Amino acid sequence: MEGESIYRIQGVTRLEMLRLKSTEGLQFEPEPVPPGTYGEPATFVMVVTVTGILALAAYLLKDREKKEEFAEVEEVRPDGTRLVKRVRLKSSSEKAGKEIAAILEQIRGHSSK
């Protein structure tokens, strides 16, 4: 991952993590357990490299039927700079390809590697 931006999205459930863990370009980190509580983390952070960015876009669109929502995606650049991007999610089954392209444009923006 050296030399390229990575993207992070929080709140991934254990079931989603198990379904996606073999996808190239995706890694998962447990979210920290809050102080004073015990047990295993309930959710995970998805860490996405450039090779997994299409999987991230598809993940963000899943289960969205003609609804508009927003998700926060954190970009971590090679120099350590962190940017949080608010990604607009709007889907309908007829336009899934266009929506994936729109999400990719929002995530990548005009940043350079």
Mean pLDDT of 6-13: 88
pLDDT at 79: 92
The whole model's pTM is what? 0.66
| CA-CA-CA-CA torsion sign (91, 97, 102, 108) | positive
Question: How many Å apart are CA 50 and CA 25, to the nearest integer?
Answer: 7
Calculate the CA 67 to chain-centre distance. 18
Q: Indicate if the pLDDT at residue 94 is higher than 60.
A: no
Tokens standing for residue 62:
């899943």
- Domain extent listing, the chain: 6-108
112 vs 103: which has the higher pLDDT: 103
pLDDT tens digits for range 19-76: 888 888 899 998 887 788 776 677 888 888 888 888 888 777 776 565 667 888 888 9
> Does position 1 have pLDDT exceeding 50, yes or no?
no
What's phi and psi for 61, nearest 5 deg? Answer: -90, -15
